[in-house]
Chains A and B, each alone.
Chain A
Amino acid sequence: MGCLTWLFERFANEPSRNFMIWRDQPYTYAWLIERIREWETRLDAADVAPGTVVAIEGDYSPQVVALMLALIERGTILVPLTASVEVHKEEFKQIAEVQVVIAIDANEQSSISRRPTEVRNDLTRKLIASGDPGLVLFSSGSTGKSKAALHNFIGLLEKFKTPRHSMITLTFLLLDHIGGINTLLYVLSNTGCVVTVEDRDPDKVCAAIERHRVEVLPTSPTFLNLLLISEAYKRHDLSSLKRVTYGTEPMPEHTLQRIHEILPQAELLQTYGLSEIGIMRSKSRSSNSLWVKVGGEDFETRIQDGTLWIKARSAMLGYLNAPSPFDADGWFNTGDAVEVDGEYIRILGRTSEIINVGGQKVYPAEVESVLLQMPNVRDVAVTGEPNPITGQIVVARFNLFEPEDIAQFRKRVRDFCRDRMAAFKIPARILIVENEQYSQRFKKMRRQPAATGGTNHESQ
């Protein structure tokens, strides 16, 4: 026992410091230590033994953090599930072979329930036998099926033993995301403070930054675009920000330049991480540069055919429901196309066809299968298209049986999709085409010279 002893000692040295601001209320490290002890008693009483696979249902809150730490210390296998994956929860529990579910609701009330499940997966069994705590994160697969990455938590914790700056950090990355876990561990290991916000509305985020003098903002290019469009930065004092980090999708150059202009005092840093390998330490060439050096003591990188490969000490043990993606020497193909300049790289985007809308992934096949259920739809092809606000948008090109007015049809598509998929998956651009879509690779047809327009009519 005691893989978190070093961390709890740091907490004990700073009892009066706040570890979290939640719903504008502060919670101290002394409070956290007490709650962790309480959870230990409760977990004993509920017979949650080391090696149990435990799902935590709940979003960022002081109790969820206390529970997570108690479960890591106990040597269980954690499966964080937030409201954002609601529709997949049952599927995820089955894949991870969850045995105990601990749900914490919006009022911090908790309940513990058991599922009659025996762990059969070899990777999980090996981890349990070692006695180390584990973490299961769900990541994107190219076919639309989520892949479950199993980590040994000890490997993820290692890099946080080196003390770094203690900062007030705002977060809206969730705890079932490698970035959310990374931010939390960084802050706690340096007895800093996490400021949480209830949604990503730019004005609410900026108000929280001003009120709590937030120093670090880990975010995404899409949020930064929305910050510019909303002009929320003009209504709030953001001078406390010392560092803004961004990841999860490629950053548009013009967004970076504008953010640098409005936040001249802040260092702008790109981060790079994947559920499979953890988050690497990275260093941008400068605040207005998209060139970045990635790596750190525990990572090796190489470029092969323009694609980034990584070998990491904090890499996952493997997928629970897919073949190992590592080659014989332990290298992982990130699928990210990059440009190289000396020791710096620039990330160009995914080599696969996954569409990235504001950092959230959309699988064309999944959207197409819903759209094909619509009356009067004969065929449909879904692709991504660059967009300056959300990075990419979802485009759907339809073949219809009977002609329809495009404005009416657009409305019909959006009405049909509303209850059947998450808002970010609903096609933003809806086109009716007359040609067969066997190649599925029409990009921006309407920008083609008029001379070729005769063969491919796109009603818009």
Chain B
Amino acid sequence: MNRSDVMDLIVTTLQDLLASDPARAGLPIEEGTRLYGPEGLLDSLRLVSLVLDLEQEINDRMDTAITIADSRAMSQQRSPFRSVGSLADYIMRLLADEQQQAA
């Protein structure tokens, strides 16, 4: 998966999760869209769901075993869960690390 595939996946997964939320469904989702925190799209429970859904989908497609939310993610100086773009960057890093380990 390249970065734009990951972005697409984040966008469709978010749209699915927000479909039931009339206040947020249909809002534009872009690189800079905030996920959690002020003006964030998600509450804490939906954030957990987003991360799990992405993890499952990526591992299925790529035959990988990445874990997006773990102690490493929680220890970052800048939270990977701030925005759609920062999450995509973090996932790309995890995929690159996994490839390196496999090589």
- Determine the chain A residues whose CB is within 8 A of the CB of B16 once the complex forms: 407, 410-411
| Known A-B contacts A229-B81, A423-B45; A388 and B52 likewise in contact (beta carbons under 8 Å) | no
Indicate if A424 sits at the interface (CB-CB under 8 A): yes
| Known A-B contacts A254-B71, A254-B74, A460-B56; A390 and B48 likewise in contact (beta carbons under 8 Å) | yes
Contact A252 B71 (CB under 8 A): yes
Contact B44 A390 (CB under 8 A): yes
Shortest distance from the beta carbon of A34 to any chain B beta carbon, whole Å: 39
Contact A428 B52 (CB under 8 A): yes
Query: Which bucket holds chain A's interface residue count?
Result: 35 or more
- Identify the stretch in A190-198, A220-228, A278-286 within 8 Å (CB) of chain B at 4 or more residues: A220-228
CA distance A411 to B49 in the complex (A): 11
CA distance A157 to B38 in the complex (A): 40
- Determine the chain A residues whose CB is within 8 A of the CB of B70 once the complex forms: 388
Contact A426 B45 (CB under 8 A): yes
| Known A-B contacts A390-B44, A415-B20; A258 and B74 likewise in contact (beta carbons under 8 Å) | yes
- Determine the chain B residues whose CB is within 8 A of the CB of A423 once the complex forms: 43, 45
Shortest distance from the beta carbon of B21 to any chain A beta carbon, whole Å: 10
Contact A231 B71 (CB under 8 A): no
Contact of A424 among B38, B45, B59, B65 (CB under 8 A): B45
Shortest distance from the beta carbon of B64 to any chain A beta carbon, whole Å: 11
Indicate if B47 sits at the interface (CB-CB under 8 A): yes
Contact A429 B52 (CB under 8 A): yes
Indicate if A154 sits at the interface (CB-CB under 8 A): no
| Known A-B contacts A258-B75, A426-B45; A393 and B52 likewise in contact (beta carbons under 8 Å) | yes
CA distance A259 to B92 in the complex (A): 27
Contact A428 B48 (CB under 8 A): yes
CA distance A230 to B81 in the complex (A): 8
- Determine the chain A residues whose CB is within 8 A of the CB of B5 once the complex forms: none
- Determine the chain A residues whose CB is within 8 A of the CB of B20 once the complex forms: 414-415, 418
Contact A388 B74 (CB under 8 A): yes
Indicate if B69 sits at the interface (CB-CB under 8 A): yes
- Binary contact readout A47-83 vs B (1 if CB under 8 angstroms, 0 otherwise): 0000000000000000000000000000000000000
Shortest distance from the beta carbon of B34 to any chain A beta carbon, whole Å: 10
CA distance A407 to B56 in the complex (A): 10
| Known A-B contacts A230-B40, A411-B16, A428-B48; A446 and B74 likewise in contact (beta carbons under 8 Å) | no
Contact of B37 among A203, A257, A390 (CB under 8 A): A203
| Known A-B contacts A203-B38, A388-B73, A428-B52; A226 and B44 likewise in contact (beta carbons under 8 Å) | yes
Shortest distance from the beta carbon of B13 to any chain A beta carbon, whole Å: 9
Contact of A231 among B44, B45, B56, B78 (CB under 8 A): B78
Indicate if A255 sits at the interface (CB-CB under 8 A): yes
- Determine the chain A residues whose CB is within 8 A of the CB of B60 once the complex forms: 460
Contact B37 A230 (CB under 8 A): yes
Residues 175-233 of A contacting B (Cβ, < 8 Å): 202-203, 222, 225-226, 228-232
Contact A410 B44 (CB under 8 A): no
Indicate if A112 sits at the interface (CB-CB under 8 A): no
Indicate if A387 sits at the interface (CB-CB under 8 A): yes
CA distance A229 to B80 in the complex (A): 8
- Determine the chain A residues whose CB is within 8 A of the CB of B38 once the complex forms: 203, 230, 232, 235
Indicate if A358 sits at the interface (CB-CB under 8 A): yes
CA distance A203 to B40 in the complex (A): 11
- Determine the chain B residues whose CB is within 8 A of the CB of A411 once the complex forms: 16, 19
- Binary contact readout B4-40 vs A (1 if CB under 8 angstroms, 0 otherwise): 0000000000001001100000000000000011101
Indicate if A447 sits at the interface (CB-CB under 8 A): yes
Contact A231 B79 (CB under 8 A): yes
Residues 45-101 of B contacting A (Cβ, < 8 Å): 45, 47-49, 51-53, 56-57, 59-60, 65, 69-71, 73-75, 78-79, 81-82
CA distance A435 to B56 in the complex (A): 19
CA distance A231 to B81 in the complex (A): 10
Contact B79 A254 (CB under 8 A): no
- Determine the chain B residues whose CB is within 8 A of the CB of A228 once the complex forms: 74, 79
| Known A-B contacts A226-B44, A228-B79, A231-B78; A388 and B69 likewise in contact (beta carbons under 8 Å) | yes
Shortest distance from the beta carbon of B87 to any chain A beta carbon, whole Å: 11
13 new A-B contacts at CB < 8 Å, known A231-B78, A388-B71: A203-B37, A203-B38, A228-B74, A229-B81, A252-B71, A252-B74, A254-B74, A389-B74, A390-B48, A407-B16, A411-B19, A424-B45, A447-B65
Chain A residues close to B by CB (< 8 Å): 202-203, 222, 225-226, 228-232, 235, 252-255, 257-258, 357-358, 387-390, 393, 407, 410-411, 414-415, 418, 423-424, 426, 428-429, 446-447, 460
**8 closest Cβ pairs, A-B complex:** A460-B56, A230-B37, A254-B71, A229-B79, A229-B81, A428-B49, A428-B48, A429-B52
